[in-house]
Amino acid sequence: MFGALGHIARLAHSGWVLAREGVFSDVDPGILPPAARVPLGFAKLIARRSARKDPKRLARAMAQLGPSYIKLGQFLATRPDVVGVNAARELEELQDRVAPFPLQQAIATIEASFNTQVSRLFFEFGESIAAASIAQVHRAKVETVDGVREVAVKILRPGVERRFRRDLRDMYFAASLAERYSPEARRLRLYDVVDTLARSVKMEMDFRLEAAAASEYAENTRDDADFRVPSVDWDRTAKDVLTIEWIDGLHLSDLPALKQAGYELPQLGRIVIQSFLRHAMRDGFFHADMHQGNLFIDRQGRLAAVDFGIMGRLGPKERRFLAEILYGFITRDYRRVAEVHFEAGYVPRTHRVEDFAQAIRAIGEPIHSRTADQISMAKLLSLLFEITALFDMRTRTELVLLQKTMVVVEGVARTLDPRLDMWSTAEPVVSEWIKNKLGPAGIMDDAGRSLSALGRFVGSLPEMAERAEALAADLERIGHAGVELSPASIEAIGRAEAKRARWGNAALWTIAGILAAMLLIG
């Protein structure tokens, strides 16, 4: 009971902040469930007059609510299907910049992590150069057998794990209630949205995992001539501390410096797009936070990425889905694009391929009537997700993260070259993947994997037979004896169900406005 009260109280406070900032002011009550209309009316009454027309009111409110909600806002920016297109665009502007914590706290974290003095680990250790909601970065120097070299040291913000655990429990509670009472919430899989956010944050707050991601990413890209990943200093890396090679180069956002150094900006734009697509389709492992602040051009002219806290993965099926979708739009084969959705199991078989192909044509044809620099690959995927509700297509969180990253990557590339032809830039990478994976070599590779899987299945047959025999015996015994519950057990179950229904209804009324607005803002 007290746990539910705590969730409700904190969610009510969050709702109050959102309401005061005017986040719910433009929501039409006619499109909400009846239970949500009274809380919505109250939310509109308490909105600050000056906040009602503020175009950044949602981002401002999320920033006020603290680190967990900043991360939630950034994550929801990738889900226009949940919060609406307008709200998603506003949340894209949400900046994860907070005041740095003191140098002495950073040093204390390092010394606690390694049980030694910071001077024994670093030759020099300076003030922070960047601070965010989860961590901050310091520039330092270490001594090696080859001399002194510079490193970047990322340190977890003190107390942030406890705060995130509490807020994520509240978000799980809200999502569970929403899915219990709203079919639309179940279709959007709000609980899975929170679960994906929780897993992402959990990995972000264990820097050993980020170090492993950087190491795997570096291994995948070691033969890429125009891309590199900084090396990890494993001796100075722990759960709360990450030390990596310092990238000596130019920020991709510093266009005047790039021009002065003689770089061709359109070529850099092509490298950004092709590197991202190559990593996503070839490796199934991509940097999911490729904004300009995380990208550099090193002294050898290679694109270098930093900050590996958010990485995306695609399985073989998702990679094929992505490649065939993009290739289908490039060649205007809308029937094939529709078939790929059905083959992947993303669209229920209750719908017809022809109808889905017609909907996809409505997206593709307007794009092909525009000039190359007006065509947005990210916009195409956004439109593709917009039609999912019409065909009962459940959200695929891994594809949503891919789409969000593509929006960011495309924005970076367009900054470097406003007239970038996205399709001609993507075509060589997509065609190469299709040739390698769907051509003769790819078919032979798939056949080899299938034979290997068949061998493992045959090898496990004796164990499976034993388990089946034991299960049959158990079922036969239950069939003869039945399953009995004591009166005390039956009474306890009844009390639990009554209690759950009572608190569920109370909680629903308390936070209905918050949940409805999250679903329908924009």
List helix spans (H) across 77-129.
80-83, 85-91, 103-114
Looking at residues 197-203, what average pLDDT do you find?
A: 81
**3 state SS for 134-199:** CEEEEEEEEEECCEEEEEEEEEECCCHHHHHHHHHHHHHHHHHHHHHHCHHHHHHCHHHHHHHHHH
Looking at residues 341-369, what average pLDDT do you find?
A: 82
Looking at residues 423-450, what average pLDDT do you find?
A: 68
pLDDT for residue 413 is more than 60: yes
pLDDT for residue 87 is more than 90: no
Could you give the 3-state DSSP secondary structure of residue 157? coil
Residue 506's pLDDT band (boundaries 50, 70, 90)?
very low
Which residue reads 């078919």 in tokens? 443
Distance of CA 393 to the CA centre of its chain: 19
98-131+134-162+201-246 under CATH 3.30.160, yes or no: no
Higher pLDDT, 105 or 469: 105
Q: Which helix (H) or strand (E) holds 41?
A: helix 34-45
Task: Give tens-digit pLDDT for 332-345.
Answer: 888 888 888 888 77
Instruction: Count CA atoms closer than 13 A to 387's CA, side-chain side.
Output: 19
Task: Give tens-digit pLDDT for 48-69.
Answer: 877 667 777 888 888 888 888 8
Task: Give tens-digit pLDDT for 141-171.
Answer: 999 888 899 999 999 999 888 888 888 888 8
What percentage of the chain has pLDDT greater than the value 70?
Answer: 74
Residue 447's pLDDT band (boundaries 50, 70, 90)?
very low
Residue 241, strand partner residues:
155
Residue 3's pLDDT band (boundaries 50, 70, 90)?
low
pLDDT for residue 287 is more than 90: yes
Residue 11's pLDDT band (boundaries 50, 70, 90)?
confident
289 assigned to active site:
yes
pLDDT for residue 473 is more than 70: no
Q: What is the pLDDT of residue 441?
A: 46
Task: Give tens-digit pLDDT for 125-143.
Answer: 999 998 888 899 999 999 9
Residue 492's pLDDT band (boundaries 50, 70, 90)?
low
Looking at residues 467-474, what average pLDDT do you find?
A: 64
Q: Mean pLDDT for the chain?
A: 79
Higher pLDDT, 322 or 429: 429
Helices 2-20 + 160-181 axis angle, to 10: 90
Higher pLDDT, 230 or 49: 230
Q: What is the pLDDT of residue 179?
A: 81
The Cα 347–Cα 339 span in angstroms is 10
Higher pLDDT, 120 or 24: 120
Predicted TM-score (pTM) of the model is 0.71
Cβ burial, residue 456 (10 Å; 0-12/13-18/19+): exposed
Q: What is the pLDDT of residue 293?
A: 84
Task: Give tens-digit pLDDT for 239-263.
Answer: 999 999 999 899 998 999 999 999 9
Among the options 81, 233, 289, 307, which is catalytic?
289
Higher pLDDT, 367 or 483: 367
Higher pLDDT, 496 or 230: 230
The residues spanned by each domain of the chain are 98-131+134-162+201-246, 249-438, 445-481
Q: Which helix (H) or strand (E) holds 417?
A: none
363-372, 379-388, 512-521: least confident range: 512-521
Residue 463's pLDDT band (boundaries 50, 70, 90)?
low
Residue 422's pLDDT band (boundaries 50, 70, 90)?
confident
